[in-house]
Amino acid sequence: MLKQLKELRREALSELNQVNELRELNSWRVHHLGKKSKLTQILRSLATLPLEERKKVGAQANEIKRALESGLVEKKKFLEEIHLATSLEREGLDVTLPGRPVPIGRLHPIPQVLEEICDVFKNMGFQVFEGPDVEWDYYNFEALNIPQWHPARDMFATLWVDPEMDKESRLLRTHTSPMQIRLMEKKRPPIRAIMPGRVYRYEATDVTHESMLYQVEGLAIDKDITLADLKGTLFEFSRCLFGEERKVRFRCDYFPFVEPGVEVAIECSACHGTGCRLCGYSGWIEILGAGMTHPDVLKRGDIDPEIYSGFAFGMGVERIAMLRYGIDDIRLFYRNDLRFLKQF
């Protein structure tokens, strides 16, 4: 049996030297060290041998087992190093090649235009304030000369939060004008402020209307402010945002919280005034409403209308973006089509 063990060791180590792949190495392990290998069978048959012979054969068998296991570990390490070197050589990285371009995120076109609008007014001395999207009926309507019985409420398709439409009802604000009252309650004249934010309307969407949109409210209160100051401010805004060549139109309009009220429209960029689907074939697109702050609104803000006067305006950011870029459907901004958004 000792002679058989020596022959087994010689054959096993000889075969191990000829192994060149990890897959072959695993087959060698199973054949020479597995449960059905000759060496394992010899170790299991030791119990049948006489005591003296058992000691000699057992010592020899264990020594061979350790030698084979040690050779297996060294061979595995050697083959793994060769495999790694071959892989690195085959899959080497050329560091001189330019890297893959990484897509860079950017602002949505509406926040882009919103920032531009705010920058124009900040350069004219206006401060920026923000208010809540969920508003009280008092600030959204009552304090702006729109009581519950007033027909002007029909102008706003309101999304109510509370079922009872009483004085304390809450709603998703229909315009950013409530910030006029909130600001007057906290600040004393002179006031020059713009208030950007989201507004909500319960209405069907079409090429010029959305149920959620952005507005920018403006308010200026000081002594001796006139309609000429309002017109000068809005003409300067239009010149900065659209260029000096774009025509601007002022017409009388009605808003309960200003007196007198005006509508400001910009020449349609799609048809340049000839008439198209975007402008309703009028050649103009209304971008904002404005006017001189109503004395009753000043009183609700605890400001004396005998001493101070002011003007206010509110504009839709989406419509300004449509004018800037010649877009004929407001719904494109919120369809999340990357082909459209990547153009900005």
Last residue in a domain, options 29, 62, 90: 90
Q: Are residues 171 and 310 in the same domain?
A: yes
Nearest to 233 by CA among 264, 259, 267: 264
**What is the predicted pLDDT for the residue at 82?**
83
CATH of the domain at 224: 3.30.930.10
SS3 214: strand
Q: Are residues 147 and 246 in the same domain?
A: yes
The mean pLDDT value for 99-125 works out to 90
Beta bridge partners of 90: none
203 contacts: CB under 8 Å, gap ≥ 6: 157, 209, 211
Nearest to 211 by CA among 134, 113, 318, 80: 318
- 222: pLDDT confidence band, cut at 50, 70 and 90? very high
Is the pLDDT reported for residue 326 higher than 60?
Answer: yes
- 291: pLDDT confidence band, cut at 50, 70 and 90? very high
The mean pLDDT value for 229-250 works out to 88
Residue 308 φ then ψ, to 5°: -115, 155
Q: What is the tens place of the pLDDT at every residue in 19-28?
A: 888 788 788 7
Length of the chain: 344
Residues 119, 271 contacting (CB under 8 angstroms): no
Q: Are residues 155 and 50 in the same domain?
A: no
Q: Are residues 83 and 124 in the same domain?
A: no
CA 148 to the chain's CA centroid: 38
- 54: pLDDT confidence band, cut at 50, 70 and 90? low
Task: Return d(Cα 212, Cα 167) in angstroms, integer.
Answer: 24
Does residue 53 form part of some domain? yes
Q: What percent of the chain has pLDDT over 70?
A: 93
Weakest mean pLDDT among 59-63, 78-82, 144-148: 59-63
Structural domain boundaries enclosing 215: 109-341
Total domains in the chain come to 2
Last residue in a domain, options 58, 90, 122: 90
Q: Are residues 53 and 178 in the same domain?
A: no
Does residue 132 form part of some domain? yes
Output the CA–CA distances (angstroms, integers) from residue 325 to 41, 287, 343, in the order listed: 86, 14, 10
The pairing of strands 127-128 and 191-200 is: parallel
Task: Return d(Cα 70, Cα 10) in angstroms, integer.
Answer: 15
Is the pLDDT reported for residue 195 higher than 90?
Answer: yes
Both structure tokens of 187? 């600040």
